[in-house]
Amino acid sequence: MDGVIALYKERGMTSHECVSSLRKILHTKKIGHTGTLDPNVDGVLPICIGKATKISELMMASGKVYRGAITLGVAYDTEDLDGQLIAQQPIKTPLTAAKIDQTLAKLTGDLMQTPPMYSAVKVNGHKLYEYARKGLTVERASRPIHIDYFKQLKPASYDPTRQQQTIYFEVGCSKGTYVRTLAVDFGRLINVPSVMSQLTRIQSGGFYISQCVTLEQVQAAMDADDVIQVLQPLKEALKQYPTYALDESRWQIVSHGGFLDESINSDHAPVVCLDYLGEVKALYRFEPANSQYRPFKMFIA
């Protein structure tokens, strides 16, 4: 059983629980996810099965797309609604759409971001949330991230009773981006408390939420002995790479881990997906110094 399950992770579940459940359903231990989602975030969680576990880090490195909401006027220690309220400030004059767009634009491009205290980043051998739960704040290094775009999805709403405004957004971002921190940074730019009040991941690892299946659907497919219906093939998971169809002579070279000359890709793409008789067999990486393609990831049994 080899491929990727584009799992829809429900709110309230941890990514580890999803993997554990799939191990039991699929009766296999060779499973790995492609980057965790917080328990209160739902959406796309690609799960690699069998040979596909070899590409989990490649999928983790891909960009992500989220849709969510930022609420202005309140702040929480966890940067989402799961924590403790730490600040309030009435929003008496709602932001205009133009002001929201202008502020979102300031949070695009190459940025440095400090991981939140309530995160799994390790400092001195301990996860940050372990310090946070003890009421401690520790120094942590900022990390480079890239925000492709950060835009409004629809007009913001205003609650005159609570004097809070909620912004609805979509963001395309790099690996390692904390979207709840972006929500807090939005508030800092306009000097008001803010919180990420809702978040759904709609794209990850090249898979979209429309391609996702639930744990219940995976179980049903297994019960029907038709798991292929919920398992995306390696070819689909690697569609971002150019493909080269091997002839018999080159397949013999690849099957023994040999090198290929640069003629397999005239553009000298950094990574090429090698296909033999309709099945992905390897990823080869170009080495300019030798003008050769050499093994990078092998999927040969």
Instruction: Tell me: do 220 and 93 sit in the same domain.
Output: no
Q: Is 21 helix (H, G, I), strand (E, B) or coil?
A: helix
The identity of residue 54, as a single letter, is K
- For residue 251, give the CATH number of its domain: 2.30.130.10
Residue pLDDT, tens place only, 193-216 = 999 999 999 999 889 999 999 999
Q: How many domains does the chain have?
A: 3
When pLDDT is averaged across residues 85-89 and rounded to a whole number, the result is: 96
Catalytic residues: 38
Given this model, what pLDDT does residue 155 score? 96
Query: How would residue 301 be classed by pLDDT, with cut points 50, 70 and 90?
Result: low
Instruction: Tell me: do 223 and 245 sit in the same domain.
Output: no
- Compute the Cα dihedral for 126, 132, 135, 140 and give only its sign: positive
The residue out of 179, 199, 219 marking a domain boundary is 199
Instruction: Tell me: do 104 and 116 sit in the same domain.
Output: yes
Give every strand in the sheet of 279-287, ordered side by side: 243-245, 271-276, 279-287, 292-298, 260-261
Residue pLDDT, tens place only, 141-158 = 889 999 999 999 999 999
Instruction: Tell me: do 151 and 93 sit in the same domain.
Output: yes
Instruction: Tell me: do 77 and 148 sit in the same domain.
Output: yes
Beta strands 31-33 and 42-49 are antiparallel
Q: Output phi, psi for 248, to 5 deg.
A: -60, -40
Residue 84 scores a pLDDT above 80: yes
Given this model, what pLDDT does residue 134 score? 83
Given this model, what pLDDT does residue 132 score? 83
Cα–Cα dist 203/272, whole Å: 23
Of 104 and 233, the structure prediction assigns the larger pLDDT to: 104
Residue 76 to residues 37, 176, 180, 295, Cα–Cα distance (Å) = 19, 21, 11, 48
The identity of residue 221, as a single letter, is A
Residues 6+ apart with CB under 8 A from 264: 244, 250, 272, 274, 284, 293
Given this model, what pLDDT does residue 130 score? 84
Given this model, what pLDDT does residue 76 score? 95
| Most confident segment among 13-22, 52-61, 147-156, 231-240 | 147-156
The residue out of 191, 220, 236 marking a domain boundary is 236
Query: How would residue 281 be classed by pLDDT, with cut points 50, 70 and 90?
Result: very high
Given this model, what pLDDT does residue 122 score? 84
Instruction: Tell me: do 17 and 99 sit in the same domain.
Output: no
Range of the domain at 99: 64-199
Residue 115 to residues 20, 88, 120, Cα–Cα distance (Å) = 27, 23, 9
Residue pLDDT, tens place only, 56-80 = 888 888 889 999 999 999 999 999 9
Residue 146 pairs in a beta bridge with: 110
Instruction: Tell me: do 77 and 188 sit in the same domain.
Output: yes
Instruction: Tell me: do 192 and 256 sit in the same domain.
Output: no
Of 33 and 212, the structure prediction assigns the larger pLDDT to: 212
Instruction: Tell me: do 158 and 103 sit in the same domain.
Output: yes
For the chain, the first-to-last Cα distance in angstroms comes to 12
Given this model, what pLDDT does residue 231 score? 92
Task: Identify the H or E element spanning 221.
Answer: helix 215-223
- For residue 117, give the CATH number of its domain: 3.30.2350.10
Residue 297 scores a pLDDT above 90: yes
Enter the tokens of residue 68. Answer: 């969510």
Instruction: Tell me: do 101 and 178 sit in the same domain.
Output: yes
When pLDDT is averaged across residues 157-175 and rounded to a whole number, the result is: 97
Given this model, what pLDDT does residue 206 score? 87
Of 164 and 32, the structure prediction assigns the larger pLDDT to: 164
The backbone region for 38, taken as left when phi is positive above 0, alpha when psi lies in -120 to 50, beta otherwise, is beta
Instruction: Tell me: do 70 and 175 sit in the same domain.
Output: yes
Instruction: Tell me: do 72 and 159 sit in the same domain.
Output: yes
Weakest mean pLDDT among 67-81, 130-144, 255-269, 287-301: 130-144
Number of residues written out for the chain: 301
| Most confident segment among 26-35, 135-144, 267-276 | 267-276
